[in-house]
Amino acid sequence: MAFGRLERSTPPPPISDINVTPLIDVMLVLLVIFIVTAPLLASSLKLDLPQAEASGPSEPARFVALGLDAQGTLYLADRPAGREEVERALREAAAADAQTEVRLRADRAVPYGRVAELIDAAQQAGLTRIGFVTEPEAPR
């Protein structure tokens, strides 16, 4: 029996393949992170509505301007109006052009229920384009 080292005639060849198992592990961890965080990002709700910053207002061909002040007075084109007069103006605008936009300005102190009533009146008249007029954000 001979004790000693067994010499190989040629050394083993180097492995030239990339080990992709760690890469796949990292990708799966990132995928799980994105799956968990995506719904959280989409469900953020900010309700400071009276101020907004927009790139520019859209100008449709026709619009009806409605206003509602803190005391609950309705305004049609910046003049006081009764509910019947507002509903008649909305029906006339819908009959003239169904794409007429309703521009609604409401004081921040007005209860949301009153605003919802105006939206409902516009929809019952046949108008579906409703825009909320806000003030631009104050510069910081």
Counting every residue written for the chain, the total comes to: 140
Mean pLDDT per segment of 10 residues, for the chain of length 140 residues?
64 80 92 85 54 55 83 86 91 88 89 90 90 79
Q: How many domains does the chain have?
A: 1
Which CATH number covers residue 126? 3.30.420.270
Residue 137 forms part of a structural domain: no
In a domain, 39, yes or no: no
Could you give the 3-state DSSP secondary structure of residue 100? coil
Half-sphere exposure of 106 (CA within 13 A, CB side): 19
92 and 102 Cβ atoms separated by less than 8 Å = no
pTM (whole model) above 0.75: no
SS3 63: strand
Domain range holding 127? 63-132
pLDDT of 73 reads 87
